[in-house]
Structure 1
Amino acid sequence: MKSLVALDLSCTHISSLPPSLPCLMNLHTLCLDSCTSLTDISMLGKLTALQLLSLSGSKIEKLPEEIGKLSNLKLLDLSHTYNLKTVPPNVISSLSRLEELNMKHSFYGWEVEGYGSGSNASFAELTSLECLTVLYVQVGNTRCLSKVIPFSSNNLAKFCISVDSSYHESSSPTYMYLKNLSIPVANWIKMLLMKTAELSLIGCDRIKNLVILDVCGVKGLKSLHVEDCSEMEYLINIMEEAGVPQSTFNSLEKLQLKNMENLKQICLCHGPLPNGIFGNLKVLRVQKCHRLDEILSHPLLKGLKILEELKVDQCHKLKFLFYSKELQE
């Protein structure tokens, strides 16, 4: 059995790990998915050859410090571990070769330096993992959105990051769900935005338009959802903000605006829009934006070359879908 490299005990009713498990010194893969009776996994720290460890669906309440000894670990799956409330400091950051971390619907109590009791890992531990290419995680502490946090995870190719107490799924390979984002925006956010294909901005009360967030020029952004941003009057205000990127939303295919109580226009521009803005937009959905009296201004309407779906719901002051003298003539 010493030559065993893979062991799958998923969906078994084991309540403790076999005492002989540390003898499997060549074990590379261990799956303990949905072992709901298993709570103590500290013994796993002796399996130093492990490269893949999956605990998805288990009921562990604390990630033991011994896990930090798994220096060869490349993949750690803690998804759907709803009972996980404690991740001690320096455990995650010790996994220096980790390439994939899956914490969907799991622990979200990451601390931010200067805030918290110090009993849990800091969010900076995640951003320090230089080999990380895949990350699925939720972060309950919104202070990380504006905090200066060193970011070494430059190799991220797939990620789903929810800054909220709930995890939000997406079919997009790169997705960010940011709640209560404010100015200034942390550099780690800006760096990941450059790789983001789908973005949700929720409850960004102090942001009046998106140009100041530097998200307009994100070349790969395909889908944008903006909701409950009570101070936002315009999605883009070309009249006030200098240096609007030429590439502003030129890859965007889907735009959803919901419950934007002070939104006056999607785009404020008295002249023609720069070439390409919203040029690839196919879906536009607007809901509960009660100050809007017109959905598509003439400059915006001219830019929507391939719009396929327009849905407007509960916009009580709406007078026109679009109003343009040029179109009437």
Structure 2
Amino acid sequence: MKELKVLALVGKEMKNRVSLRSLKNLRTLCLDGSNFDGTSTDVIGSLENLEILSFRDCYSMRELPREIGRLKQLRLLDTTNCEELEVIPHGIFSSLCRLEELYMVNSFNEWEIGRGREEKGMASISEVMSLSDHLKVLAIEIPSVIHLLTKDIVLKSPTIRFLIRCATWGRLFSEMSTYAFENCLEISESDARELEESQAVRLLLKKSKKLYLSEVKNFSVLTDLDQEGFQDLKDLDLWYCPHIEYLANGTSGFLTNLRFLKLGSCGVLKYVFSLSAARNLVQLQELNIDGCDQMEEIVSKQGEHEEEADMISFDKLTNLTLEGLGSLVGFFQAKKLYSNQEETTARVEHQSAGVFEKAIFPSKCISWFPSLEEVVLGRMKFEGVLFDLKNIPSGFQGFQNSRLPKKMHVKRCENLKTMGAVIPQRKKLENNLKKDSTSHDFSTSPTRSSNWCPAGCGCAPYSRPNAHRPIEILPRPIKVTPTNLEDSNDNDNLENLTVSDCNSMEVIFQLKGPKHEESSHSIEAFNKLSSLRLDRLPGLTRVWEMGSSQPMLTGSSFGNLKSLEVGFCNQLKYLFSSSIVKLLVSIEDIEVHNCEKMEEIVAAEEETDETITLPKVKSIKLESLPKLKYFCGEAYTLKLPSLELLEVDDVQNLSLLAPKLIATHPRLQVRTALGVAEWKGDLNATLRNIYVTRKGEDDEIEREDEHN
């Protein structure tokens, strides 16, 4: 035992005051998770050769033994998560002349300001910083940045790896539980003018890879804190910083390594980046902005040439969240489409066709996001469209990389009217044009432009030169998703769509083009959409809207939709038309609830005797639909060969799922609020029995009430 060099008593109860005095050669002692309380000095003894000492997760530890100051060979000390640690006597740290790694996050927080008092005082940050010429790793928590502002605080090693929280509340670093962290700094409730005067703070800011600032006042631009532009920074959080107006404006090399950016409740923040600063953000992966009431745009021209916008690309941005931005005009405000001279005629003609100019993502910046996976929009007063693709410049080279994100959540955007529209490919119409023209470059064929403009005003189409795939825009009022998506390719990437609490939404999917083209060719749309959730849309009248002359939807349109939930949409009278329901070959789960005017799930478009089959539907839930009479009416025969569960509750008028119902799953169960219903041989008979039983019970209750 005397030759023992490593001893780990992890999670042990040390009731018998274990003495380690004889272990003179011990180099590593790990008491992690034990009940060591720090009051028993003979536990550590005189381990003069000890190099690593860890008390991590010793929740009973209240005091760091003064005798630790005699461990002259100690290179690593860890008290992480010793939440009850209240006493570290002054002088311990200054005695540890070879200490290289100090881990104290989420433990001791009673640091003395300045050098501390010699006798009964606690340890001070000055003591710790006096070791910084040989300290390689420092992870500590201090109640305020004021501890770093005294003149004697000097950070001597520019290569030190650190995790420092100058805060009594806020976020906890996820890196706390590991030794593998990058340089992290959190500062709250401070004044930027004081931070600039501290050598230690300036160096920490400069070297930070993760920086969280909360309630830091008196800086209007981030470069006030680091003139070189935080070139090492990867993760930046700014919350409740009352004076910041923008992050950067025309700064070369600014935030070139930034991956994650969160901005919250910065009351006077008007925009985030200038065009030139935005060009640096080639590594940005996530952008989250919340509660910045004065923000008008994310990227701003600020006197720069608009051509700078053509050089911006957030190639790695996958997640974008914009919430609570009451003044937002758009992600970027490009110049207006029309000059003053062209204003009257052109604007009126385009507006008559339902074309919007106002967009959260205007056409100038739509190609900045080639890798976008998820978009969240919430609590905004913006009026207009979400994506406006109608002004893609002729010959623009970046549009081929733009696509819809995989997931989209739109909530509490009460005035949002539409997302916009794009037709990536127009094969049939293009072929017709080829027959009549020797030119295949649509961007240089003004004689053809009137065939493409939705207003019929003769404006030029927009396309990539020699690509033969012109882009047409036809946004319509009061919609949430792209209209007229035809022959979509991999750019039609939307997989999950959630729309909630948007009072102005009337139609979700509008599938119709200009009147003279509606029946001229087929459309493929949303062929990757797998989940659709619509909740609390009081103005919604149709989920799918078809043209008067129905376009031919290809079989893959909506062919991957598996889950559909619709709730609290009180203007909806039906969910699907028969032409739409035929496309839903993969749908498995349908839930409809709390829609006051819903009469049918599948509405008849014309009198016919067709058979409608939903081959993969496994469960249907119908709840609180007071006017629902049928899932599918008499015009069609309904087949549900895979249906295993039908849940019905508060659908008092539903006595038949469908008058013509055949082919249901042999293990089908029907459940009500009271449990599994008695099976009566087939589904319609079972529902009829529930209806008759319920009606009889209601009549009996009514008679009793009259009698009483």
Per the TM alignment, residue 237 of structure 1 is displaced from its structure 2 partner at its CA by: 4.7
Equivalent position to 1:178, from 184, 187, 191: 187
Contact 2:69 2:96 in 1 (8 A): yes
Deviation per residue, 1:167-224 (Å, 9 max, x gap): 7214452111111232132211221233221111111022222111116522211111
Equivalent position to 2:126, from 116, 124, 141: 124
Equivalent position to 2:155, from 128, 134, 151: 151
2:143 corresponds to 1:134: no
Corresponding position of 1:283 = 286
* Distance in 1 separating the partners of 2:4 and 2:74: 17
* Distance in 2 separating the partners of 1:16 and 1:219: 54
The residue type equivalent to 1:125 in the other structure is E
Equivalent position to 1:162, from 160, 165, 172: 165
Higher alpha-carbon Rg: 2
Q: How does 1:178-197 map to 2 (within 5 A)?
A: 178-182=187-191, 183-185=193-195, 186-197=198-209
Q: 1:278 to 1:145 in 2, by over 3 A?
A: farther
* Distance in 1 separating the partners of 2:261 and 2:21: 53
Q: 1:251 to 1:228 in 2, by over 3 A?
A: same
Corresponding position of 2:589 = none
Per the TM alignment, residue 233 of structure 1 is displaced from its structure 2 partner at its CA by: 1.7
TM-score by length of 1: 0.87
The residue type equivalent to 1:176 in the other structure is L
Q: How does 1:232-311 map to 2 (within 5 A)?
A: 232-237=244-249, 244=251, 246-267=252-273, 273=276, 276-298=279-301, 303-306=312-315, 307-311=317-321
Equivalent position to 1:200, from 199, 207, 212: 212
Aligned to 1:112, what secondary structure does the other structure show?
Answer: coil
Per the TM alignment, residue 165 of structure 1 is displaced from its structure 2 partner at its CA by: 2.2
Deviation per residue, 1:89-145 (Å, 9 max, x gap): 110121111111111210122222188997211111222212221221111133134
The residue type equivalent to 2:225 in the other structure is L
* Distance in 2 separating the partners of 1:35 and 1:110: 25
Greater RCO (CA < 8 Å, at least 6 residues apart)? 1
Contact 2:115 2:125 in 1 (8 A): no
Q: Which runs of 5+ in 1 are unaligned?
A: 239-243
Q: 1:145 to 1:304 in 2, by over 3 A?
A: farther
Aligned to 1:109, what secondary structure does the other structure show?
Answer: coil
Corresponding position of 1:29 = 28
* Distance in 1 separating the partners of 2:97 and 2:113: 20
Corresponding position of 1:241 = none
Corresponding position of 2:331 = 321
Q: 1:85 to 1:227 in 2, by over 3 A?
A: same
Contact 1:230 1:261 in 2 (8 A): yes
* Distance in 2 separating the partners of 1:165 and 1:41: 30
Contact 1:60 1:83 in 2 (8 A): yes
Superposition RMSD in Å: 2.5
Q: How does 1:47-126 map to 2 (within 5 A)?
A: 47-58=47-58, 59-113=60-114, 119-126=121-128
Contact 2:248 2:254 in 1 (8 A): no
Per the TM alignment, residue 276 of structure 1 is displaced from its structure 2 partner at its CA by: 4.8
TM-score by length of 2: 0.42
Q: Bigger CA drift: 120-129 or 140-149? A: 140-149
Percent of aligned pairs sharing the same letter: 29
Contact 2:33 2:55 in 1 (8 A): yes
The residue type equivalent to 1:260 in the other structure is C
Q: 1:115 to 1:175 in 2, by over 3 A?
A: same
Q: Which runs of 5+ in 2 are unaligned?
A: 176-180, 337-363, 365-390, 394-708
Q: How does 1:13-24 map to 2 (within 5 A)?
A: 13-19=13-19, 21-24=20-23
Aligned to 2:168, what secondary structure does the other structure show?
Answer: coil
* Distance in 1 separating the partners of 2:162 and 2:199: 17
Deviation per residue, 1:66-102 (Å, 9 max, x gap): 1110110111111111110111111012111111111
Q: 1:45 to 1:233 in 2, by over 3 A?
A: farther
Q: Bigger CA drift: 134-143 or 305-314? A: 305-314
Per the TM alignment, residue 38 of structure 1 is displaced from its structure 2 partner at its CA by: 4.0
* Distance in 2 separating the partners of 1:256 and 1:121: 35
* Distance in 1 separating the partners of 2:261 and 2:61: 39
Contact 1:16 1:38 in 2 (8 A): no
Contact 1:16 1:40 in 2 (8 A): no
* Distance in 2 separating the partners of 1:275 and 1:290: 21
Aligned to 1:80, what secondary structure does the other structure show?
Answer: coil
Q: Bigger CA drift: 110-119 or 86-95? A: 110-119
* Distance in 1 separating the partners of 2:319 and 2:3: 58
Contact 2:9 2:31 in 1 (8 A): yes
Per the TM alignment, residue 325 of structure 1 is displaced from its structure 2 partner at its CA by: 1.6
Per the TM alignment, residue 292 of structure 1 is displaced from its structure 2 partner at its CA by: 0.9
The residue type equivalent to 1:30 in the other structure is L
Q: Bigger CA drift: 274-283 or 42-51? A: 274-283
Q: Bigger CA drift: 64-73 or 43-52? A: 43-52
Q: 1:136 to 1:38 in 2, by over 3 A?
A: same
* Distance in 2 separating the partners of 1:321 and 1:273: 15
Per the TM alignment, residue 37 of structure 1 is displaced from its structure 2 partner at its CA by: 5.3
* Distance in 1 separating the partners of 2:298 and 2:190: 25
Q: 1:235 to 1:218 in 2, by over 3 A?
A: closer
* Distance in 2 separating the partners of 1:266 and 1:79: 36
The residue type equivalent to 2:154 in the other structure is P
Contact 2:56 2:78 in 1 (8 A): yes
Per the TM alignment, residue 48 of structure 1 is displaced from its structure 2 partner at its CA by: 1.0
